[in-house]
Structure 1
Amino acid sequence: MTTVRYCSTCGTKLETRTIDGVERLACSSPDCSFVHWGSYSVGVGALLVRDGKVLLVRRAQEPGKGYWTNPGGYIEQHEPIETTIEREVEEEAGVVARAAGIVAVRDQPRDVHNVYIAFAMEYVSGEPKPDNREVDAAGFFGPEEMAEMNVAPFTRWLVDVALNGRSDGLERDERTELPIRHAGLFKVATR
């Protein structure tokens, strides 16, 4: 893990200071207010069910090489999360799907704090075909088939959410009038 040592605003060396009761790296220049609040990554995953079976891909590279997982990946800097998951499903599995709602979130604090957002997906078109780069196999599988497969533990948990969840999850709020530019807002369904 690479440690941040210099200010990304002015290039001055960072120092450790107590800010909001937590030791944080901050710029040592009196003319700069930069604080390194931490390192974060946001991942997304697809839960696409068709005919009672869930779309899974087998990882061809680390992390998780050899494990069956749901398609997913990390968001790009200026890409809405729904666009990310739709792109990842098509890239990894050759299937076109639409993000329908958020159904699960994993919060994993560590050196790079990871937040993972799982989307219920609606099938649009295509048959599973691996990209043969990130994944080397893809298909729709039922619980009986998965029992014999090397499915990652977190994916098993997500499959249970996909097959046994009682809600479509949070939906995108398209009608908000909040003055938040380029924000994706999600909420529970309302009447």
Structure 2
Amino acid sequence: MAINYCVECGHPMETRVMDGVERRACSSEACNYVHWGSYSIGVGALVMRDDRVLLVRRAQEPGKGNWTNPGGYIEQLEPIEETVVREVREETGVDARVISIVALRDLPRAAVHNVYIAYEMEYVGGEPIPDGVEVDAAGFFTLEELKSMQVATFTQWLLDVAVRNPEGAGLRKDENPAANGYFRT
């Protein structure tokens, strides 16, 4: 979608080449607004309790009916680590605290460039109760139980790299990415 009018002052936008890339910029000499692109940053949580992982079943598209790790998108003025804590609490009623980043997905697309950061989180308290809007079920499940569940592809990959096959600290490029997961522990 083209940006036709400046969100700062309302003047028409024009196309300029900046750093070798065509960008939409305000045509007004009094305004410096440049549309740098469309980006979204999502977060996800791997919360473990007694060798069980916290999962939610999506009640909405995309992925309706799939079991996934809890997560969502950051708010404009919200630190990312606060986002993942909030999303876990909102979707499940469970309180958890951040331990570390376990995976990063970089998915550039024409409409929006999506970055997804997955966190390992420590269970603090609460029992899983679905929010009834974004998710219609929530619970802690063993890896054996997951075999008979409809688990989203990305969540399966995330569990593989972060829980089933931990390889040490730090992120490294995944040479065989699954479900667009480009970096893992």
Q: TM-score range by the shorter chain?
A: 0.7 to 0.9
- Per the alignment, residue 145 of structure 1 pairs with 145
Deviation digits for residues 22-74 of structure 1, max 9, x if unmatched?
11111122332221100111110001112222110000011211111000000
Q: TM (normalized to structure 1)?
A: 0.83
Alignment partners' CA distance in 2, 1:115 and 1:98: 21
* Equivalent in the alignment of 1:54: 53
Query: TM-score w.r.t. structure 2 length?
Result: 0.86
Name the stretch that deviates more: 66-75 or 138-147. 138-147
- What does residue range 104-119 of structure 1 map to in structure 2 within 5 Å? 104-110=103-109, 111-119=111-119
In 2, distance between residues paired with 1:58 and 1:11? 42
Tell me, what secondary structure is at the counterpart of 2:64? Answer: coil
2-side partners of 1:30 and 1:97: how far apart? 49
Hey, what does 2:178 align to over in structure 1? none
- Deviations along 1:101-159, whole A, 9 cap, x unmatched? 11111111111111111010001011111111110111111222111111110010111
Residues 102 and 168, structure 1, Cα contact 8 Å, conserved in 2: no
2:167 pairs with 1:166: yes
RMSD across aligned C-alpha pairs, in angstroms? 1.5
1:90 aligned partner: 89
CA contact (8 A) 1:60 1:134 kept: yes
1:101-140 aligned within 5 A: 101-110=100-109, 111-140=111-140
Shift of 1:169: 4.8
The answer to whether the 8 Å contact 2:103/2:162 transfers is: no
Aligned to 1:99: 98
8 Å Cα contact 1:99-1:119 kept in structure 2: yes
Quote the sequence identity (%).
Answer: 67
Letter in 2 for 1:115: V
Aligned structure 1 segments of 4 or more residues deviating by more than 3 angstroms = 166-170
Give the secondary-structure state (helix, strand or coil) at the position aligned to 2:3: coil
Q: Can you give the 5+ residue segments of structure 1 that lack an aligned partner in the other structure?
A: 171-191
* Aligned partners of 1:59 and 1:68 also within 8 Å: yes
The total of aligned residue pairs comes to 169
C-alpha distance 169-98 of structure 1, shift in aligned 2 (>3 A): farther
Q: Specify every segment of 5 or more residues in structure 2 that has no aligned partner in the other structure, as ranges.
A: 172-185
Distance 1:138 1:27 in 2: 46
- Measured after TM superposition, the shift of residue 94 of structure 1 is 1.3
